[in-house]
Structure 1
Amino acid sequence: MRKYPILRSMLTGHFSLHRLFPAVCALALIAAVPSVRAQDDPLNKVHVPPPGTTTPTAEPKGAEAPAVTGAPSTRVKPGSVIRMNVDMVLVPVTVTDPMNRLVTGLEQEDFKIFENNGEQKIKTFAAEDAPVSIGVIFDLSGSMTSKLVRAKESILQFIKTANPQDEFFVIGFNDRPELIEDFTSSVEDIQARLATVRSGHRTALLDAIYFGVAKMKEARHERKALLVVSDGGDNRSRYTEGEVKAQVRESDVEIYSIGIFDPYAATPEERTGPLLLNELCEETGGRMFRVDDLSEMSDIAEKISTELRNQYVIGYTPRDLHRDGKWRKVKVKLNPPQGLPPLTVHARTGYYAPLQ
């Protein structure tokens, strides 16, 4: 199969071509790209080739590794920790094609970033698998009873395919949220705790998300994300939708969701649940994935894990350095190489400036 990379890409959903660099740069990149773990199998991933390149006769080693891109002066070396200072804004970015596949291999010059409609100068650019602090928000309400086994399996698949340096906590919720497992990198610890949970009662989804975002203040890594696994709307929370949206805006946490929604939802809360989750995800640059078949949950969880490991991270120093606490709108635009189909950018919509 290695002799036929195009056939292989059709079977796996992963199309990967390498740019042709000058010889000196090529040697440096070969030394820098980390080796790929045997269990890594990126889902629905498209690697963008440079104009004028040709398909190699054999897929190079490391072709499925996250792309190391950007000019040498701004490239972040694999394994390094991306840190944010008070005057630097970091924006994780996901790019997808019309078939909803990840697009990797883009360069810094393919992006433009704007704050309050004013273009900003990109100071740092990375496309590497940096560690993430992740909180799993797990719906344990009564309506999840028939879906509990599949949901547990999807959470474990998500964690098993993550970066080994990632850390996780798990919050379960029904009438109220409860910390099931504190920050850990141990799949075994999380698996043992998930084996003890039971479903029942009502759904305090907003309270659980609020708790999860607050818990992220204890995170070790600069990049932070929540994975919400739920089948419906909120019918028990004390926090309002407006309060949770405000808290999410003030954080730097991405929200992803696996939504197991009933197409024949009986209550207003169940009907508005998908809209609420989708809004929270889009606000932060994450995405919501609907589950049409419970057997697909583990594949969806792995897809989200792969997406988190293949994001671009753009850093810029705002031209407006006033510490006024005001909301600043952020927009990432693409100017990709010619010949590509229309691409979609997923990124946070803004941030609050610091007050001091």
Structure 2
Amino acid sequence: MLRHSSAPLRLRALSIAALLLSLLSQSFSGQSQSQQSKQANEPEEGTVKLEATEVSLPVSVRNRNTGALVGNLKISDFIVYEDNVQQEISFFTATRVPVNVVLLIDVSSSLRSEIENIKAAALNFIRELGDNDKVSIMAFSDTVELIQDWTSDKSALESALLRIRRGEHTAFNDALFLAAEEQLMGVKGRKAIIILSDGVDNQASQLSFEQAFDALMHSEATVYVVSKTAILSSRINDELRMREKALIGQASQRESEYISDLKLALKILGDSEKRLTRIVEETGGRIYLPMSQRDLLGAYSEVATEIKSQYIINYIPSNTARDGRFRRVRVKCTNPNYRTYSRGGYYAPKDAPDEATTGPRLIRRDQD
């Protein structure tokens, strides 16, 4: 979770990892329960075709008071700004457009007890998607594996979920990078990544969070996160209160170290939740913090509903410079009672490509 230079501190980090695992193992338990694969970059009926310089924004709209999704809006209900300059909308549709979804599933030891619940929730999500939507499944622990390449065959996806196997550590940053940089590379149309993880990278990744985040922003995918940080933090807080309440007089060194580890674990989870929140806010998605199996199933169902309810807004930027710089984008709804969710910007094209990042390798298990 944190990099330490001395052996005692490394052992302490391992004890904190074991602590998180033991707390999560007490987490909610729940009841678990052909067509040829198409490449995601093949043209699909209903796909929005873009001009070379056009920017496409999937946009969700919710009522500020109730949080409910808002439908039946028109092009006149939206205003788009790029770097605070209003843009002319070139295309708008409220008709459902096919989506390419990467399911990115954490199978490390911290989620070991929840794998069957996760599979059940992911399967329910897949069943709610449209016939023209495509899904690929990636799983990560010490390494990042492609379990199923792009397909709209729901039977193939269900079989792929059965091939997921557990691991130990959490290469979270590498998984984000490979989902964005490799799996979504060249994919046309609407793109989304759904992450199931606590987001804590415990030294297993080759890349930093900022490198992974930059790849996400280049991919132009909407990211949704289903995280266990809330339930873990709740359990650690309960344990901490119990330990501190039971203290009589001077605590032993062992007890003091354990309490200190609990506090450090809380900080690690809090920092992770801040990073996950940053991801969804900048990409136009949402974060869900389930406290039960019912909440977990509900989170995936909500994501599927939102994806089916998005508007698509395109515009041709008034700034024609091919400078590769990040352009800040904001979509506003003319009704002040409505709040929009869309990605916070994009990287302008440029003539000279960026130098490729030397990073982790994606292991293909989709042919197993």
Task: Report the TM-score when normalising by structure 2.
Answer: 0.71
Q: Is residue 306 of structure 2 the alignment partner of residue 307 of structure 1?
A: yes
Aligned partner (choices 38, 62, 66) of residue 99 of structure 1: 66
Larger radius of gyration: 2
- Confirm or deny: 8 A CA contact 2:46 2:98 kept in the other structure: no
Q: Partner of 1:103: helix, strand, or coil?
A: coil
Query: What is the CA–CA distance in structure 2 between the aligned matches of 1:231 and 1:88, rounded to whole Å?
Result: 35
CA contact 1:172–1:178 (8 Å) conserved in 2? yes
Alignment of 1:260-271 (within 5 A): 260-261=228-229, 262-264=232-234, 266=262, 267=265, 268-271=267-270
Question: Please, which of 346, 350, 353 is the counterpart of residue 355 of structure 1?
Answer: 350
Residue among 329, 340, 345 paired with 2:340: 345
- By relative contact order (CA 8 Å, sep 6+), the higher-ranking structure is 2
CA contact (8 A) 1:94 1:102 kept: yes
- Gapped regions of structure 2 (runs ≥ 5): 1-43, 237-261, 352-368
1:166 is matched by which residue type in structure 2? D
Offset at residue 196 of structure 1 (A): 3.0
| 2:53 pairs with 1:83 | no
Contact 1:234 1:269 in 2 (8 A): no
AA in 1 matched with 2:157: I
Three-state SS of the structure 2 residue aligned to 1:286 is: coil
1:86 deviates by 2.1
Could you tell me whether the CA contact under 8 Å between 1:128 and 1:309 is conserved in 2? no
- Per the normalisation by structure 1, the TM-score is 0.74
Provide, for residues 88-123 of structure 1, a one-character-per-residue CA deviation record: whole Å limited to 9, x for no partner. 111111111122211111111111000111111111
Relative to structure 2, which stretch is displaced further, 197-206 or 317-326? 197-206
Q: In structure 2, what is the equivalent of residue 278 of structure 1?
A: 277
Measure the CA separation in 1 of the matches of 2:45 and 2:165.
Answer: 38
> CA–CA distance in 1 between the matches of 2:135 and 2:161?
13
1:110 aligns with 2:65: no
Across the aligned residues of Structure 1 and Structure 2, the Cα RMSD in angstroms comes to: 1.7
In 2, Cα distance between equivalents of 1:193 and 1:90:
31
In the alignment of these two chains, the number of paired residues is 274
Deviation for aligned residue 1:84: 2.2
Q: Which residue of 2 aligns with 1:295?
A: 294
Task: Report the 3-state secondary structure (helix = DSSP H, G, I; strand = E; otherwise coil) of the residue aligned with 2:122.
Answer: helix
Q: Which has the higher helix share?
A: 2
For residues 159 and 128 of structure 1, the distance between their equivalents in structure 2, rounded to whole angstroms, comes to 20
**Residue 199 of structure 1: how far off its partner (Å):** 2.2
User: Where do residues 129-144 of structure 1 align in structure 2 (5 Å cutoff)?
Assistant: 129-144=96-111
Detail structure 1 runs of 4+ shifted over 3 Å in the superposition: none
Amino acid at match of 1:128: T
Q: Give the aligned partner of residue 209 of structure 2.
A: 241
Is contact 1:94–1:345 with CA below 8 Å preserved after alignment?
yes
2:224 corresponds to: 256
Q: Secondary structure at the match of 1:306?
A: helix
Percent of aligned pairs with the same residue? 29
Q: Displacement of 1:269 after TM fit?
A: 3.6
Deviation at 1:182, TM superposition (A): 1.1
Kindly indicate whether the alpha-carbon contact (under 8 Å) linking 1:87 and 1:318 is maintained by their aligned counterparts in 2: yes
CA–CA separation in structure 2 for the residues paired with 1:299 and 1:82:
29
Would the aligned equivalents of 1:233 and 1:271 in 2 still touch at CA under 8 Å?
no
